[in-house]
Amino acid sequence: MTGDRFRLDGRTAAVIGAGSGIGEAVARACAEQGARVFCLDKDGDKATATAKAINDANGKAEAASLDIRKGAEVETCFEQIRGRAGRLDACVCTPSINVRKTLLAYSEEEFEKVVALNLRGSFNVLRAAGRLMSAAGTGSIVLVSSIRSQVVEPGQGVYAMTKAGIVQLARTAASELGANGVRVNALAPGVVDTPLTAPIKANPAWYGAYADKSILKRWADPPEMAWPVVFLLSDAASYMTGSVLFVDGGWTAHDGRFSPPGM
């Protein structure tokens, strides 16, 4: 049946950032579609809580602490997943941080902090998952970019740089790993209600301005990002690789600053 193409039954999925936000929603959605989910997060307690919620809902999940900034730790973690599950079919990397400052105000330490997690962390995950999947001859990887890979505003420069870099990582990996049966895509969310965007939500004017920028005039909830990710992981997206899927409420599709008279 056509609907079965969206299912993940019998597959093993590693979801990094599963302790909160988009990562938690992705982990829950993958489990709902039948995957055995390894919930990974730097905060092991939060990862455990997500895994427990999945198991309580009759899903299959395990949890572990993982700092993706450490390449060797990522490699070891993924080898352990393969050892426990016998395979790694899907991998999603969601963690990001942002230091909102103009470029001239940025310190070297702040630059390194953002790049270390957003870009190097994504690279570490991509490399480790890509190696296992290439050896197995199958797999799907989703990295999380952003609308900031395309459009920016003051204070978003370094974050935007990392998100643009993630797009090129995904495209290059798709090119290099496609012959091995591995697909790699990127999700580009708009503004989503997560811990990362909490400072914006706390400012009513800022929150409202972001809501008004999208065509739908609202923020997204994490599950609205999770289901597009499930699609990219599933056989329904079997011919998609090297793609960037924008899920932004139309943010990047229109200018939106003025409606001409009579429209």
pLDDT tens figures, 220-261 = 999 999 999 999 999 999 999 999 999 999 999 987 766 667
Name the pTM for this structure.
Answer: 0.94
Number of Cβ within 10 Å of residue 156's Cβ equals: 20
Identify whether 210 is a catalytic site residue.
Answer: no
Number of Cβ within 10 Å of residue 14's Cβ equals: 31
pLDDT of residue 15: 98
Q: Could you tell me the two tokens for 121? A: 């962390």
**Cα gap 124→93, rounded to integer Å:** 10
- pLDDT score of 3 more than 70: no
pLDDT of residue 1: 44
> CB–CB of 141/246 below 8 Å?
no
pLDDT of residue 263: 60
Write down the mean pLDDT value for the chain. 95
- Rounded to an integer, the average pLDDT of 63-79 is 98
- Rounded to an integer, the average pLDDT of 208-229 is 94
Q: Which among 159, 207, 210, 239 is annotated as catalytic?
A: 159
Tell me the domains of the chain and their CATH numbers: 2-248 (3.40.50.720)
> CB–CB of 159/254 below 8 Å?
no
